[in-house]
Amino acid sequence: AVEQSGRYGTWIDYRNKLREDIILYKLQGMLLNVSVTDAQILERYRELSKGEEAKIAVRRLVFRAGDDAKQRDAVFKQAKAVVRRIGDGETVETLATELGQNAEPETLTRSSVSLPIGERLFKAKVGDVVGPLASGQGYVVFVVDEVMTSDLLGFEEAKGRLQAALEEEARQKALRDLYEKLRARSHVDIRL
């Protein structure tokens, strides 16, 4: 069948061409050893999902704490007490006024909050109280007013595809760079 195709002269020519292709493939694999980090995958996910991701309307209460462990514990207990009071039926506005905060409604996306907060927050339903969650300045409590879903895949679901695409892009770039280096080293003398 190989000889009848007309593409290769003989079976030996076909085997030699196949051997050359395999050697080139293995050489590229050795020279173009590329890897992609989770940070690169997350960056690409955020880049592609900007404006497409789910949004959540919340009211936020912030409990600031210093570096002192006792102070952090006291602030955490205060935040837990506020969560309990909201669960008992007190309004967020009343508690916000009591705490000297305004608790204005705001819309958040996964990329606008830290990963641990986003994971907890976007599992919540309307009316849920999420928190207290540790943040850079202390603790934060969210009251979910509205959830606007999206068809966008979650990061973990999209991670495999994004990793494969990024690795292929890196491989292609490394291959182009290799060809450029080889081209720069080679000398072709054309005489007429």
- Tally of CB atoms within 10 A around 17: 12
pLDDT tens by residue, 36-92: 898 999 888 878 877 667 788 999 988 888 788 888 899 999 999 999 999 898 888
- Tally of CB atoms within 10 A around 119: 14
pLDDT tens by residue, 4-25: 776 777 778 888 888 888 888 8
Please name the residue that has the structure tokens 């050359």: 20
Q: If you classify domain 54-148 with CATH, what class do you get?
A: alpha beta
Q: Supply the pLDDT for residue 9.
A: 73
Retrieve residue 5's tokens: 């195709």
Retrieve residue 166's tokens: 């990024």
Listing DSSP states for 28-46 in one string gives HHHHT-----HHHHHHHHH
Retrieve residue 104's tokens: 């204005």
Domain boundaries, the chain: 1-33, 35-52+154-170, 54-148
Worst-scoring range by mean pLDDT, 33-42, 96-105, 150-159? 150-159
Percent of the chain with pLDDT over 90: 12
Contact between residue 85 and residue 129 where contact means Cβ atoms under 8 Å apart: no
Retrieve residue 123's tokens: 């599992």
pTM, two decimal places = 0.53
With residues binned 3-state (H G I as helix, E B as strand, rest as coil), the percentages for the chain, rounded to 5, are: 55, 15, 30
Closest to 182 (Cα-Cα) out of 28, 34, 36, 33: 28
Label residue 162 by pLDDT band (50, 70, 90): very high
Higher pLDDT, 153 or 132: 132
pLDDT above 70 for 3 = no
